[in-house]
Amino acid sequence: MVTTVSRRKKRKGLKDKQLSSLPTVDHIHEIESCTCPTCKEAMKEISTQLIRQEVKFIPARVENHRHFQKTYACANCEKSGTRTPFAKSEIPRLPLNNTAASASLIAETMYQKFEQKVPAYRQEAYWNLLGYPIPRHTIANWHIKTSQYYFEALVAVMRQELLNQKVLHADETTFKVLNDKDRQKSYMWLFSTGKYSERAIHIYKLGPSRSGSVPRDFLEEYTGYLHSDGFSGYNNLPGMTMIACLAHIRRKFYDARPKNYSSKSVAHKGVTLCNELFALDKSLKDLSVSERYDQRLELVKPKLEAFFDWCESLTAHGKLGTAINYALNQKERMMNVLKDGRLVLSNNLAERGIKSLVMGRKNWLFSKSFEGAHAVATILSLVETAKSNGLHPRKYLDYLLTYLPNRQNTPLEAYLPWNPKVQMECR
């Protein structure tokens, strides 16, 4: 018997490319006394060869940076008895008063919580090991105050930019607020721009319920396209064209498949038809908006119509009946995807954004107060929008906390993730 072990071929040059992006430190290994073993004369160097490269981890550390302010007085005026003018050097403001926390320190606590999903109580132990203990309530207070002082106004500007886009996605999930005595659970809503939108924006909003009043109030007089699932809270949104989610339709058929289903299973056929639609639409992703629109009318429309004709021909009960009824209820909204080349077949973009919150929620469990929950929505909006625009979220948060406290007449638009200066500083 011959055993063959196959290994996946590595992309050539990938390791070198990764290493070239890192700061480099060279270590030259010398021989202290190099004499010839034959004649005992000193040997001369003839070459230096790179033997290996290793990636070294530099542990994080905290430092105390002291800022001294110089005061100047006019010696000439002082001599002449004239009132002596004084001048003082400018000291940049910290994000918060009555604390030694720098922009970078607060940004790191936000990065750990909202990107790495590390709750404040676990961060408490981490900062203790670094030699600068930070209580969990202090971390929470930093997030709330900086959100209120700086970030909420910036997210409001982002919201106006989001409402200027023609295609949006929406989704929602439960979110527990511990001090909420009036109801058992609140909801966190997400509104995102589309895949082909000019701006990549994700805005999270805390809502008191799952009522349609939340998206209606947030979107106001928006008249574009809105991708969503089949949830009734998105019904009766005036002026908007609703787009259904084929992934949700597929999921209903997937869940309806019997345990030992065969290729002849009706539910399995539903899954297969949805897969074919996704594959066909994926083949059009590199086309221009107008070309995609034309090709969908020619290629996707007949398949969509055939899918719904097939659904209408079926009669079933149980999970399969639920899947068929769900699909038929979404027919009109699903056919709306053919109206514009910027639309997509699923609401997966919003679901991925909600997943980021859900992953954090598993670790954070809840927000203690409404102020804390609003801070979660605000900071997560900045983190996810930064990532979608190619920025490093920690660098972006550090940038905002450095410059916003010292902002005078600069418009807030200058601090949005797609601003050229922000792009240059925060990648």
> pLDDT category, 77, cuts 50, 70, 90?
confident
Q: What pLDDT is attached to residue 22?
A: 92
Q: What pLDDT is attached to residue 354?
A: 97
DSSP 299: I
Which of 185-189, 190-194, 340-344 has the least mean pLDDT? 185-189
> pLDDT category, 236, cuts 50, 70, 90?
confident
pLDDT at 7 over 60: no
SS3 of the chain: helix, strand, coil, percent, to 5: 50, 10, 40
In whole numbers, what is the pLDDT of the chain averaged over residues? Answer: 94
Q: What pLDDT is attached to residue 12?
A: 56
Q: What pLDDT is attached to residue 5?
A: 44
Nearest-angstrom CA–CA distance, 83 and 94: 33
User: Which range is most confident: 5-19, 46-60, 83-97, 371-385?
Assistant: 371-385
Query: Residue 317 has which token pair?
Result: 């009960």
> pLDDT category, 416, cuts 50, 70, 90?
very high
Three-state DSSP class for residue 170: strand
- Beta carbons of 120 and 136 less than 8 angstroms apart: yes
Query: Residue 239 has which token pair?
Result: 């002026």
DSSP 300: I
* Helices within 346-392 (DSSP H only): 348-364, 370-388
Q: What pLDDT is attached to residue 148?
A: 99
Q: What pLDDT is attached to residue 55?
A: 93
Average pLDDT over residues 360-374: 95
* Helices within 130-265 (DSSP H only): 136-146, 152-163, 213-219, 246-256
pLDDT at 3 over 80: no
Q: What pLDDT is attached to residue 32?
A: 85
Average pLDDT over residues 200-222: 95
Query: Residue 163 has which token pair?
Result: 């409402």
Q: Which residue has the tokens 């900062």?
A: 127
* Identity of residue 248: H
Say what percent of the chain tops pLDDT 90.
85
Q: What pLDDT is attached to residue 181?
A: 72
- Helix axis angle, 136-146 to 103-114, nearest 10°: 100
Say what percent of the chain tops pLDDT 70.
96
pLDDT at 4 over 70: no
Q: Which residue has the higher pLDDT, 85 or 222?
A: 222
Q: What pLDDT is attached to residue 417?
A: 99
* Helices within 147-187 (DSSP H only): 152-163
pTM summary value: 0.90
